[in-house]
Amino acid sequence: MKGLLKIAISLWLSTLAACSDVALNNPYVQNEDQGKVIYSSFSERPKHLDPAKAYSSNEYGIIAQVYESLFQYQYLKKPYQLEPLLASSMPTVNYFDAQGVQLGGSPAASDTAYSEYVLTIKDNIQFQPHPSFNLSLHKHLPDDWGGDSLYSLPQSSRVLTVDDFIYQIKRLADPQTQSPIVGLMSNYIVGFKEFSQTQAALIASKPQLDKVQRLQSVPMSGVKKINSTQFSIRIKGKYPQFINWLAMPFFSPMPWEADAFYNHPDLLSKNITLDWFPVGTGPYFLAENNPNRRMVLSKNPNFHVEYYPTEATEQLAKKGLLRDAGKRLPLSDKVIFSLEKESIPYWNKFLQGYYDASGISSDSFDQAVSFSPSGEVGLTDSMLERGIGLQTAVTTSSFYLGFNMLDKVVGGYSNKNKKLRHAISIAVDYEEYISIFQNGRGVAAQGIIPPEIFGHVEGEQGVNPVVYRWQNGPQRRSIDEAKKHLVDAGYTNGIDPATGESLVLYFDTMDSGPDSKARLNWLRKQLDKLNIDLVVRATDYNRFQQKMRSGNAQLYMWGWNADYPDPENFMFLLYGKNAKALHGGENASNYKNPRFDALFERMSSMENTPERQKIINKMVAITREDAPWLWGFHPKAFSLYHAWYTNANPNLMANNSTKYINIDPTLRRAYQSKWNKPVYWPLLLMAFVLLLLLLPAYRIYRRIENAKAL
């Protein structure tokens, strides 16, 4: 009985001792939030962290903070502008004719056989500390190293050289790397394709040859070292967009030591590779990589001197984005990405202050966003009370429904074929789609080029006349007009004359998300307006890709995010020589129009001038008439951020924006304490009830003890 009493007293005292203002629901390690820490998440592990392979936004979220390119997009300016990063200046571009004679000024593309980019890098840039620079580890790892932490091995560093850029370009061409841009770069960089072929032959004939030796022993004719700080890249023809590629992680410098180090058998056996443990010069390094729990970026102690911008657009300056002007980057010390597979737990942790920023899922949209009677977007009172901010931006992306132009029914270029596509283009109401499935977060597309990209035209001049009329804004044409197109196509009332029944079309998809059934039912209803039956052929990713590569799909949905802010990066999706089924390119509809292709070849090598705009207008008009796509919509990104998370700017081209983010940890802790006050009264009540339950037993015990004493 004394034991029970001691337990009750101990429970009472421990409950009182636990009563403090410390949040008990904090999901992070205690005292880990010392300094300026950014808290974010990932829902699935990135597939690649090797910059030669990575090509998706979730991968760039990591590697663009670790690796740096020659150029970057200015963070606080629009239209998007490039500036030097690892380069000391913008490149010098020289032009040559077919005989190798240098041409003066800015010659016409027809006169230019080669363009040569002369690139100068900054002095004294250091790589992050890393075991790969300790050359003794390439042959032998310490016997007592258990493989738990790569950074428990002895580390070293060295200065960046032009050889690191040249080595990376060779890695892009190496067949073993399997870079997704090898085909594209083969069309541009002189000697790239030949180098790749030579490497393939060496791999086949000398498989025992060390990879580093194999790459270093063969020159690439179009890439040359000039001196210790300069090198040149020669490309075929005139291609002004090439500089945008030099701003992407693909062309980040790679030390040969990294390739050699990660080839160690002990590391390979533990799956420790360059594709999972990057080595760069960026503001952060990947300190922890546990795909089942979290990934941690820590400040690179060797990061070179770089400062927060001192200039911004007037709008961004008014929003306070110059408050840290001139401060040394990065402004935060660490970034912790935690695994969050579901949106609801992430959202709840954001509201509790344990994530700094958040998108808005459909489930949380009404809780976060309100619309004024005039249609202006704002935050709900509950969000405003928490000091949460909102940013919106139309993305440089297009989501579309495509027709396979090789298909006998929906493809082809006759007037009959076009009229069928026009009818469907009018019937599929993307304004309704945006309202239902995007919570209004999108803009119906009038053509292939998104807003903020040169060539996009706003207002009445930018409206697609096939689908819309202009009546104080774009108004979708009526179903009656769509049905007239259907009659012209030979399908009166949607009846296929070959069968005497409703026309049947087939939609191939790999959509398996939670809203997929509703989206597919919506699409069926759109074609029902024309008495057309839509049969959905759902499949997995690999099977879908195979259908697209072989040209066996009929209708499909796809999307494209801008690699760089130029119309060429969207127009090439309809360039005939990029047809997926014919040439393995990104033209998934296999569209081929000789007039469009000829204009594309002129436009792609031009600077942004009024003449280029006129050519783009002609190209857009051709594609609207041919209608290889239902142009779909450009998504609008909505993001929320807490008061302690500053300098957030939706620069859609700047993948390396983390270094600009500042954190006020004191303000964060104050809000977290306010929003996560521990509730102790249930514990106190339980302890009190337990004492009441024990009290009768204690009284009986005392009577027995007293009786024994008598």
| pLDDT in the model for residue 687 | 67
Residue 79 maps to a domain: no
Do residues 567 and 689 share a domain?
no
- Asked if 237 and 568 count as a contact pair (C-beta separation under 8 A), the reply is no
Q: Which of 637, 666, 694 is the last residue of a domain?
A: 637
Range of the domain at 598: 399-637
Residue 115 maps to a domain: no
Please give the Cα distance from 401 to 536 (Å, whole number): 14
| pLDDT in the model for residue 680 | 58
Task: Give the SS3 label for residue 138.
Answer: helix
| pLDDT in the model for residue 14 | 55
* HEC per residue, 325-356: CCCECCCCCEEEEEECCCHHHHHHHHHCCCCC
Do residues 512 and 579 share a domain?
yes
- The CB density around residue 541, as the number of other CB atoms within 10 Å, is 9
Residue 441 maps to a domain: yes
Over residues 655-689, the pLDDT tens digits come to: 999 999 999 999 999 999 999 887 656 666 776 67
The set of residues, in sequence order, having a beta carbon less than 8 Å from that of 213 and lying 6+ positions away, is: none
Question: Percent of the chain having pLDDT more than 70?
Answer: 93
Task: Give the SS3 label for residue 186.
Answer: helix
Do residues 693 and 569 share a domain?
no
| pLDDT in the model for residue 696 | 78
- Asked if 560 and 413 count as a contact pair (C-beta separation under 8 A), the reply is no
Over residues 534-591, the pLDDT tens digits come to: 999 988 888 888 999 999 999 999 999 999 999 999 999 999 999 999 988 899 999 9
The tokens describing 664, both together, are: 């006020």
Residue 9 maps to a domain: yes
The tokens describing 411, both together, are: 């493809």
Q: Which of 637, 669, 689 is the last residue of a domain?
A: 637
Mean pLDDT across the chain: 91
Whether 400 has a pLDDT exceeding 70, the answer reads yes
pLDDT bin (cut points 50, 70, 90) of residue 514 is low
Whether 515 has a pLDDT exceeding 80, the answer reads no
Do residues 619 and 687 share a domain?
no
336-346 mean pLDDT: 91
Length reported for the chain: 710
The set of residues, in sequence order, having a beta carbon less than 8 Å from that of 689 and lying 6+ positions away, is: none
Over residues 294-322, the pLDDT tens digits come to: 999 999 999 999 999 999 999 999 999 99
Residue 566 maps to a domain: yes
> The whole model's pTM is what?
0.86
Do residues 585 and 690 share a domain?
no
Residue with tokens 């030390």: 255
Do residues 491 and 578 share a domain?
yes
Over residues 406-425, the pLDDT tens digits come to: 999 999 999 999 999 999 99
* HEC per residue, 422-464: HHHHHHCCHHHHHHHHCCCCEEECCCCCCCCCCCCCCCHHHCC
Do residues 690 and 549 share a domain?
no
| pLDDT in the model for residue 676 | 87
Do residues 453 and 507 share a domain?
yes
Residue with tokens 């119906």: 444
Strand partners, 369: 379
Element (H, E) at 638: strand 629-641
- DSSP structure string for 307-328: B--S---HHHHHTTTTTTTTPB
The tokens describing 461, both together, are: 């001049």
| pLDDT in the model for residue 516 | 84
Q: ∠ at Cα 599 (598, 601), nearest 5°?
A: 65
pLDDT bin (cut points 50, 70, 90) of residue 24 is low
Please give the Cα distance from 492 to 489 (Å, whole number): 8
Do residues 517 and 574 share a domain?
yes
pLDDT bin (cut points 50, 70, 90) of residue 375 is confident
The tokens describing 453, both together, are: 């990209």
Over residues 485-503, the pLDDT tens digits come to: 999 999 999 999 999 999 9
The tokens describing 267, both together, are: 């590391």
Residue 436 maps to a domain: yes
Question: Percent of the chain having pLDDT more than 90?
Answer: 76
| pLDDT in the model for residue 146 | 77
Do residues 433 and 546 share a domain?
yes
Do residues 695 and 596 share a domain?
no
| pLDDT in the model for residue 22 | 55
- Please write down the long-range contacts of 357-364, taking CB distance under 8 Å and 24 or more positions apart: 357/40, 357/639, 357/640, 357/641, 357/642, 357/645, 357/648, 358/639, 358/640, 358/641, 359/637, 359/638, 359/639, 359/640, 360/439, 360/638, 360/639, 360/640, 362/437, 362/439, 362/515
Over residues 95-136, the pLDDT tens digits come to: 999 999 999 888 988 899 999 999 999 999 999 999 999 999
Residue 319 maps to a domain: no
Task: Give the SS3 label for residue 284.
Answer: strand
Residue 588 maps to a domain: yes
346-350 mean pLDDT: 94
Please give the Cα distance from 37 to 101 (Å, whole number): 55
For residue 240, give the amino acid letter: P
- What's the domain count of the chain? 2
- Residue 286: name the closest of 151, 160, 179, 155 by CA: 151
Please give the Cα distance from 170 to 470 (Å, whole number): 52
49-77 mean pLDDT: 95
Task: Give the SS3 label for residue 699.
Answer: helix
Whether 20 has a pLDDT exceeding 80, the answer reads no
Q: ∠ at Cα 227 (222, 230), nearest 5°?
A: 65
Do residues 502 and 630 share a domain?
yes
Q: CATH code at 488?
A: 3.10.105.10
- Residue 663: name the closest of 386, 319, 353, 294 by CA: 353
Selection from 25-39, 68-82, 690-704 with the highest mean pLDDT: 68-82
371-386 mean pLDDT: 87
